[in-house]
Amino acid sequence: MNPAEYERMYSQEDTYWWFIGRRRLVLDLIRSRFGGQRALSILDVGCGTGAMSSELAALGNVVSTDLSGLALGFSKRRGLKRMCCADAIRLPLGPESFDAVVALDLLEHIPDDAAAVREFARVLRPGGCLFATVPAYRFLWSGHDLALMHVRRYTAREFRALVEANGLGVSRLSYAMTALFPLVWLVRRRERSDIEPRSSVKPVPRMVNRLLIRILNAENAWLRRADLPFGVSVVCVATRREQR
């Protein structure tokens, strides 16, 4: 990812509607899958500046990895200690080591995304789960993707095929960020004419930020019960099958 984007992420990750909505969604899915367990072994791959790892610590022991030393430097500022600099397709971790692997908006950065999913399956214990989000739809491609150094965007069908071909079984798959889809679509269309690619993560007025968080909270409540037919993101829960 562009180095300037890490500074932007670190400064906004704790308060910005997008990051808060995504974290709450995935934390809900983890709690739903594992119930009240508080001693999970969790791997946060592509941890970025560390906000998700910080919240995952309430659920168990977290190991945080990222390919960028700059990102890990920001994570260290949050007090994270169990970190390593690693490529997602070559994790320096033993097989069957984790109950959960979390990969938030990571796989779209990796040219060989299939190799990364195979690594996730390798380090998961039988019955363990991958919790992943990726950006949806090629027609939403814009300067935002260029600034964040994305390689691709996915449909839900494409992401299911990727996961199931590489050692995991999908137990939950849905689009997300659906309520804000029209707004994001308009912003991305406008960004295509920008001369300099830049992230769409930009400060908004405090009241607007609070409103967007409430909208995503309501949407996340719906996602606890049912899937959504389209959205800005794809969210997936995939399980490593028990060995015979």
State the Cα–Cα distance between residues 218 and 222, nearest whole angstrom.
7
Residue 223 covered by a domain: yes
How confident is the model at residue 196, as a pLDDT?
63
Which segment of 8-22, 113-127, 145-159, 186-200 scores lowest on mean pLDDT? 186-200
Q: Is residue 244 part of a domain?
A: no
CB neighbourhood size of 35 (10 A): 7
**Position 227 in a domain:** yes
Cα–Cα nearest to 141, from 12, 232, 229, 16: 232
Q: Decide: 243 and 177 in contact? Cβ < 8 Å.
A: no
Considering the domain boundaries, does residue 50 fall inside one? yes
Closest CA to 100 of 145, 158, 38: 38
For residue 217, being part of any structural domain is answered with yes
Whether the pLDDT of residue 1 is over 70: the answer is: no
Question: In 3D, which of 6, 214, 231, 206 has the Cα closest to residue 137?
Answer: 231
Q: Is 32 within the bounds of a domain?
A: yes
Q: Tell whether 184 is covered by a domain.
A: yes
- pLDDT tens profile 43-100: 999 999 999 999 999 999 999 999 999 999 999 999 999 999 999 999 999 999 999 9
Give the span between the Cα atoms of 165 and 1, in whole angstroms. 27
Q: Which two tokens stand for residue 242?
A: 């028990």
Q: How many domains does the chain have?
A: 1
Domain that holds residue 125: 3-239
Confirm whether 121 is domain-assigned.
Answer: yes
| pLDDT tens per residue, range 121-173 | 999 999 999 999 999 999 999 888 888 889 999 999 999 999 999 999 999 99
Task: Say what the pLDDT of residue 244 is.
Answer: 41
CATH label of the domain that carries residue 156: 3.40.50.150
